[in-house]
């Protein structure tokens, strides 16, 4: 056994002044949980109060902050850590009378599951308080879904009629997600992921990486059908944030005509969504019909012109210069590339002669109405730098998903049943928001995304 030099009993210089318990204290002070706690206390009434509601609730929050995967792990931590018991509100001088057992913790959590609507209220109130601290919260949005596996065993259809035994999950089902791409050598690859459990649909602020709306569904639920309900939930509970929203980015899994129309027409939010390749023939299509067949477009929304003098030559197709979105007309404005970039085009005069209106000094102008193809033409065209920057902000929701897995404990959990999963997701997201709010109030806004960094104390 290696020997170490004897240290003084109280060598305070070697003690980190930022206690790990400060993170829990920060969350507890930021959580607007008084309505929930009072409701549970009123519900208990004059019954047995061996384990008071407030310490038990604080212990549940501690389990999330300190990443305990089960009630058993949390009970063991409370047993060995008198400082944690004291912070939660238990009597630190007694290890038996006021030390909650695993069974007591599980019964209390079952009570929280039963009234998880009050947890949702905490989630929404935290967003309102963050909105007052962050004036631009909600201006840029991102959406994605993530797989959440169930700890229960899959069941066959004939077994769903049997009484639950605690090991099977009768609510979950199988989900499948396919990833495709190309290697550096050009060969295609495909990966299919299957899981038994649920799917978390998440709407986040892509600047601050904070969740603003969510929904837990079975794993088989499709992504496109849950985008607009998330936006409608934001509109219902946080009208100011909804009015503030300018753009929403999502991957090609949300590529649907209904989503484009709903976001742009009903919510005045610019969709920044990648397109799936649905055209059997990738060749550009005529833009306005045979009369103006010098113009064409492809599935990515790029608009081209073909020189009339050499119309049959594919190499003479040039991309038009984008000149902006005209909101009053609901059209995308394009200009002649020869006039815009200043190069010679042998068919320019003939092309301008085909124009139904007068051609000004800036060359021929083409206006493409969004209604021509709402899935392909959007207020922010996909071929622009603005769209690429906005789409890059979509990765914010992926980082939130990573924190949900690694920090909030969804990579290793023992949750069975949709009600418990909804409770645990709501609780985890509320802790994430409370930590962000606490960091801001503690003048540590740069650390609002972190659940694990220590709290720096004032000198």
Interval 235-253: pLDDT, tens: 999 999 999 999 999 999 9
Contact present, 68 and 77 (Cβ < 8 Å):
yes
**From CA 268, how far away is CA 259, in angstroms rounded?**
12
What pLDDT, on the 0 to 100 scale, is given for residue 293? 63
What pLDDT, on the 0 to 100 scale, is given for residue 348? 80
Domain ranges of the chain: 16-114, 137-156+168-274+392-423, 285-379
What residue has token string 């690694």?
Answer: 406
Mean pLDDT over each residue of the chain, to the nearest integer = 86
What pLDDT, on the 0 to 100 scale, is given for residue 12? 38
Query: With bands split at pLDDT 50, 70 and 90, how would you rate the model's confidence at 9?
Result: very low
The whole-number average pLDDT for the span 65-81 is: 89
Name beta bridge partners: 272. Answer: 249
Model confidence over 20-31: pLDDT tens digits? 889 999 999 999
What pLDDT, on the 0 to 100 scale, is given for residue 459? 47
**From CA 101, how far away is CA 107, in angstroms rounded?**
10
Backbone angles phi, psi at 2, to 5 degrees: -75, 135
Query: With bands split at pLDDT 50, 70 and 90, how would you rate the model's confidence at 392?
Result: very high
Indicate the Cα dihedral angle 249, 250, 254, 259, nearest 10°: -10
What pLDDT, on the 0 to 100 scale, is given for residue 283? 84
Model confidence over 394-410: pLDDT tens digits? 999 999 999 998 888 88
**From CA 87, how far away is CA 70, in angstroms rounded?**
20
Contact present, 230 and 255 (Cβ < 8 Å):
no
Backbone angles phi, psi at 418, to 5 degrees: -70, -35
What residue has token string 């794993």?
Answer: 219
Half-sphere exposure of 153 (CA within 13 A, CB side): 10
Whole-model pTM above 0.85? yes
The whole-number average pLDDT for the span 410-418 is: 84
Q: Among 167-181, 195-209, 367-381, name the one with the lowest average pLDDT.
A: 167-181
**From CA 40, how far away is CA 136, in angstroms rounded?**
35
What pLDDT, on the 0 to 100 scale, is given for residue 93? 59
């Amino acid at each position: 056994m290696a020997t170490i030099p004897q240290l003084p009993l109280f060598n305070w210089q070697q003690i980190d002044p930022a206690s790990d318990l400060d993170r829990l204290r920060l969350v507890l002070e930021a959580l607007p949980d008084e309505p929930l706690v009072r409701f549970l206390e009123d519900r208990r009434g004059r019954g047995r109060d061996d384990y008071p509601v407030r310490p038990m609730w604080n212990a549940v929050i501690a389990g999330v902050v300190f990443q305990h995967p089960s009630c058993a792990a949390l009970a063991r931590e409370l047993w060995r850590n008198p400082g944690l018991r004291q912070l939660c509100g238990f009597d630190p001088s007694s290890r038996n009378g006021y030390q909650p057992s695993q069974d007591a913790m599980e019964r209390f959590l079952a009570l929280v599951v039963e009234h998880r609507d009050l947890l949702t209220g905490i989630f929404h109130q935290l967003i309102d308080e963050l909105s007052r601290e962050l004036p631009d919260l909600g201006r840029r949005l991102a959406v994605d879904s993530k797989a959440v596996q169930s700890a229960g065993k899959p069941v066959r259809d004939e077994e769903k009629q049997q009484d639950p035994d605690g090991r099977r999950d009768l609510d979950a089902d199988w989900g499948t997600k396919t990833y495709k791409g190309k290697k550096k050598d050009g060969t295609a690859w495909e990966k299919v992921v299957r899981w038994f459990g649920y799917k978390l649909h998440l709407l986040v602020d892509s600047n601050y990486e904070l969740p603003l709306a969510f929904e837990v569904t079975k794993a088989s639920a499709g992504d496109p059908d849950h985008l607009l309900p998330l936006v409608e939930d934001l509109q219902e509970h946080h009208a100011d944030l909804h009015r503030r929203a300018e753009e929403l980015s999502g991957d090609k899994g949300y590529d649907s005509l209904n989503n484009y129309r709903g976001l742009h027409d009903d919510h005045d939010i610019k969709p920044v969504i990648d397109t799936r390749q649905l055209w059997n023939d990738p060749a550009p299509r005529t833009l306005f019909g045979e009369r103006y067949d010098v113009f064409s477009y492809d599935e990515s929304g790029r608009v081209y012109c073909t020189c009339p003098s050499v119309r049959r030559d594919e190499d003479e197709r040039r991309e038009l210069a984008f000149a902006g979105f005209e909101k009053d007309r609901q059209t995308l404005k394009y200009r002649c590339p020869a006039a815009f970039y200043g190069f010679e085009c042998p068919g320019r005069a003939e092309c301008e002669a085909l124009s139904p209106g007068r051609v000004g000094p800036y060359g021929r102008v083409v206006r493409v109405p969004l209604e021509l193809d709402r899935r392909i033409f959007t207020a922010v065209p996909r071929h622009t730098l603005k769209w690429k920057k906005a789409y890059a902000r979509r990765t914010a929701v992926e980082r939130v998903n990573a924190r949900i897995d690694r920090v909030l404990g969804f990579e290793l959990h023992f949750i069975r049943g949709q009600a418990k999963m909804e409770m645990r997701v709501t609780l985890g997201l509320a802790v994430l928001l409370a930590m962000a709010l606490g960091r801001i109030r503690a003048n540590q806004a740069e650390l609002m995304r972190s659940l694990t960094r220590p709290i720096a104390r004032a000198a």
